A and B are shown apart, each in its own frame.
Chain A
Amino acid sequence: MRIVEALRRSGVAVGPDRTIRDAAMIMEQSGVGSLAVIENDQLVGIVTDRDLVRRGVAMDIPSDARIDSVMSTPVITVDADGDLHDTFALFRTHAVRRLAVVRGEQFVGMITIDDLVIDLAADLVDLSRPITAEVLFAHRNSAPLATR
């Protein structure tokens, strides 16, 4: 499965000069938990709702400060057409919950651990079906071999 096919939500981005308050409002209105920060068509950072709390509110950064004062950079990216399983190692290595998905230099969206867990859960249900059937129902007996 390609990474882009696992995206569940639209991506939302803002410029680095937008305020923390703006970013929080846009997150709320668009229903996303993270924003890409894009300057001159280049992805320069990512800011999450957690960043707003830990690097903003908890550090007494005023809400009219620029969003790039609390964003994470450099951004860990994955290729939109790459294999979804490649993201597993990145999540494990970098201990992040979101990765920016890009095609070339262009931001496409965010892939989250939640997206992967939902897909994996669906796969597990499919895999467990024959096992469940075998546990719940008796094994079918083979017909006796024909003898002369």
Chain B
Amino acid sequence: MYASVGDRIVIRGHHIGEPTRDCEILEVRNSDGGPPFVVRWGDSGREALFFPGPDATIEHFEHIVN
């Protein structure tokens, strides 16, 4: 699973009623673009290190370089 800074990770709910969660990738720790990722959780702005499992998908965004 590869990602870039600014991509979004979506974690599906594991049971009925559990919300889908998402976070933004702030830093990619591996030089090849693989995990772990430093992420920021949407609501609280808190950061953590994220190791994606089968419940996570990455939404890639087009990165515009100025």
Contact = CB atoms under 8 A, between A and B. Distances in A.
A25 B14 contact: no
A26 B46 contact: yes
Interface residues of B, number: 21
Contacts of A35: 48
B54 A11 contact: no
B32 interface: no
B48 A14 contact: yes
Interface of B: 11, 13-14, 18, 21, 23, 36, 41-44, 46, 48-56
A11 B53 contact: yes
Interface of A: 7-14, 22, 25-26, 29-31, 35-36, 38, 107-109
Nearest to A41: B29
A30 B44 contact: no
B11 A10 contact: yes
